[in-house]
Structure 1
Amino acid sequence: MPGSESSDVPDVIWERPERAARGPRPAHSRAEIADAAVRVADADGLDAVSMRKVAAEIGCGTMSLYNYVAGKEDLYELMVDAVSGEYVFPDRPSGDWRADLLALARQTRALMHRHPWLTKVLSQRYILGPNVLRYSEYCLWVLESLDRDSGTKMELIGVINGLVTAYVANELAMGEGAPQEVATRMAYLARELGGGQYPRLAAALGSAPALTDPDATFDRVLGRILNGYAA
């Protein structure tokens, strides 16, 4: 496979030059390839992303695509970084780190709803792209006013991203069910809880804050986590 002959040690796509120092200008750019892969995933899901399909999307042969990326893992890395470029950062933090982090978390949630496949591929493996590093740098700038060590700040960023990913994944899974299916499941739950076999669960759900407003629930849960790190 192109890109694997020179060394047995895996490299990072961001360390490879996008074009060779000599020779003709490449017909396609990494940005073009990333955009094509994102379009495929947005339309048909992450499983639809393949070298063949992305190559067809940009109008080249499958083997020609290997001149630009080593395989599907490179595609995933390019995709994650491409959509991470959709973040909009203010010129500088407001000074209220909790408000700023909550605003970023809301952006992340919206980003994952625009690109539902992102909850499946987002991991520590794909955090080296320039847009992802820009996001991390801005988060740490926001957290300069928090009196905690750097390790705790990085931990907080990871906790927030993990929670947002899980929250959106659940939202997407719930949205995949037909209304009749959801109603059937909720009716079953009501019958089970009404039978007295699960008194603690029934009491907890009966007194829990309303979950009918997902935006308010999201803000409330994130706020509690942020308050915990501020304590």
Structure 2
Amino acid sequence: MLHGSSTANYLGVDKGLELFRDICAGGHSPDVIAYNVMIKALCKARRATKAESLFNEMVSKGLKPSVATYNSMVDGWCKEGEIELAMSCMARMYEDEKDPDVVTYTSLIHGLCASGRPGEAISRWNEMKGRGCCPNVITFMALIKGLCKCGWTSKALVYFREMEEKDMEPDSGVYVFLVISFLLSGNISAGFVIFREMVCKGRFPVLVDRNYMVAVDAADKFAEDYRSSCYVTCQIKDRRLSIVDVVSRK
């Protein structure tokens, strides 16, 4: 069942599809760009099956899908958890002599991790680099967060350090994912190292950040541990760490 903005998006895509069909019925022939707009919109609305129908229709009319077309389909299948279909789409991309780019690989890496296949995500990462396609900030963050979700925290930390070496700035979510992942594995010391870095670099989530309460919970745990309580208390006292929640729970 659809609610709120999801319903609006769904209806908006339907309206766009209706207009698209009206254009076709009026004797006009949409080009690749027009098809790309609709395919991307359908994939974002998690309607990859419908998007694939348009994809095949486009090909039947003699139009050549672009890298952007394939990227929308790969991302659409990944978001719906259809990883095998996403990889089949990528294989079709090679057959069509289109080279996957960083967007293609980022979607697939995220999808593989979300499906509990971190080893394959790393293989795709290595494949990407082997083909001379350099990961960007978004790719790094997708892999690090994905590995944390799969419990591969130590491996995620390796890519986090590589990201730092390349002078790429991770968002607060990456720090929070690493901290929580280490805490869940019982490695409080490693989690605290990342927590300190997050605070020192001013990456602690702000109040409106969706990761704020998760970060506060982590800070609470460090405040209760004798090895880290002094640091957390001092940071709050010196107003370097604005967390009233921790104080109120002590």
The TM-score range, normalised by the shorter chain, is under 0.3
Q: Give the TM-score of the pair, scaled to structure 1.
A: 0.28
Q: Give the TM-score of the pair, scaled to structure 2.
A: 0.26
Structure scoring higher RCO (CA < 8 A, sep ≥ 6) equals 1
Flag the structure with higher helix content: 2
